A and B are shown apart, each in its own frame.
Chain A
């Protein structure tokens, strides 16, 4: 309103505020990330890191390529198992184990993505779900490798002679990988590739007429997203020093989607916000011995979607933009 009355004064001030908003937000985020294990219990802090990567990976697809993957647990979970196997059998330093896990996830995503990107909308979601169920089934049956229902026990996390048994130190050891993964997602979104993805999302026919191979772009996005999900899943395995079948379960895929929708689709900050919100909420509910935390998170999800069309973060951001 004031900007209309005093354009000469209002506009530059607002532009300046906008220019400073992003770096300020980034600085605040970094401060919180560095401070976090001093403020909340360390296991929760590490979980927040892992889920942040997972949610961001889902948003990369949903928000920027318009693809709803309902089977992303396949990449989170397969990386968790691969990371676990690399750590248990080869005793790799943990960053390498995680990298190996994420690459495994990306590799699995190639054939799945190849078939899935030929479908759109709900059919895409169903293909991703079907393959995730298949991978869940394989992990369940392949007991000699995965431990089946018992999961994979005592996954070591090593880095030279450093003692990472305390989650407090593991948090700081893992933080660079997480920041690296988040940076990668940010880079993708703000790259020529990211621009083409958004164009494909908004108008696939036009993108094809401009010579862009839409399927191949979507496949590349799918594989990159699986890699980022894999970074999170690998760290999750190390964080708990245990891999359970739950990491591959469809409810895990659903949880990541809920995080993104809750936080706000199409903004990486929204995915961070949504994942933190859900992880903290579920943690406090389980601390309080609440019988069915899923019910409450589900209820909050429905309410948030009804009340905040753009998600929690999206609505806050829109509020500040309007001012």
Chain B
């Protein structure tokens, strides 16, 4: 079996007595694309927040490449090569797309308070090539605030990619995108997955089907089913979990 890039063991998180993530075990094989699906409120984003240090687990542990990272600060985990995007677009409004990516690429240059900020342009070419990859080349000089929704999502992706992560966590990368943008994003993830491990929360089943090697279904904080896409798709319990949600949505 392939080596595990990211492992969660009995990961649990309570919010004032409410158990949002309940003893989740997760093994993400090195180099795989692993999809995390499940109805709204299943605990997917909370799980991401635990894995990236934005929340501390109530119990359980997390390993990246065999190293225990439980309780590490988000910036430390990011520096260890685990990058994430946010479900709710999270950008620096006034900066341009290029400045966003330059900032993501800057790393330790950021300490230099005695140098001109033109120093960040050192990464201009690399920033432009990342923007090109996500289809934002023409918008390099637009502020994030002025971008349409789908483009903001693309910029989210560019920022995560700028860290050149070993493990890439994407929280609903295609949510709210038009068909064309979804296709481009699937294409992009398909390209950047080389040499990386990708964990993605995704509702769009055709995206999951196109990309995922392995699928974990969460429901009410627990792992409901895990397996290959075709296998999970036809699982009775998964169908009823999603039907249940549709029922509630009515």
Residues of A bordering B, CB below 8 Å: 187-188, 190-196, 198-199, 202-203, 205-206, 208-214, 217, 220, 224
Contacts and interface: CB of A to CB of B under 8 A. Distances in A.
Interface stretch (B61-69, B75-83, B179-187): B75-83
Given A194-B117, A217-B110, A210 B163 contact: yes
B223 interface: no
B54 A205 contact: yes
B116 interface: yes
Interface residues of B, number: 37
A115 B146 CA distance: 37
Nearest to B49: A205
23 contacts: A191-B113, A191-B117, A192-B111, A192-B119, A192-B120, A193-B112, A194-B113, A195-B99, A195-B106, A195-B117, A196-B106, A199-B92, A199-B103, A202-B93, A205-B54, A206-B86, A206-B90, A208-B54, A208-B73, A209-B52, A209-B84, A211-B75, A211-B78
Nearest to B160: A209
Given A203-B90, A206-B92, A209-B52, A193 B75 contact: no
B21 interface: no
B245 to A, nearest CB: 28
Given A199-B103, A209-B84, A220 B163 contact: no
Contact of A210 (B73, B104, B115, B119): B104
A193 to B, nearest CB: 4
B192 interface: no
Given A205-B74, A211-B107, 8 more contacts: A193-B110, A195-B103, A198-B92, A199-B92, A205-B54, A205-B86, A212-B75, A213-B75
Contacts of B78: 208-211
Nearest to B159: A210
Contacts of A210: 75, 78, 103-104, 159, 162-163
B91 A203 contact: yes
A193 B75 CA distance: 16
A211 B74 CA distance: 7
Contacts of A195: 99, 103, 106, 110, 117, 120
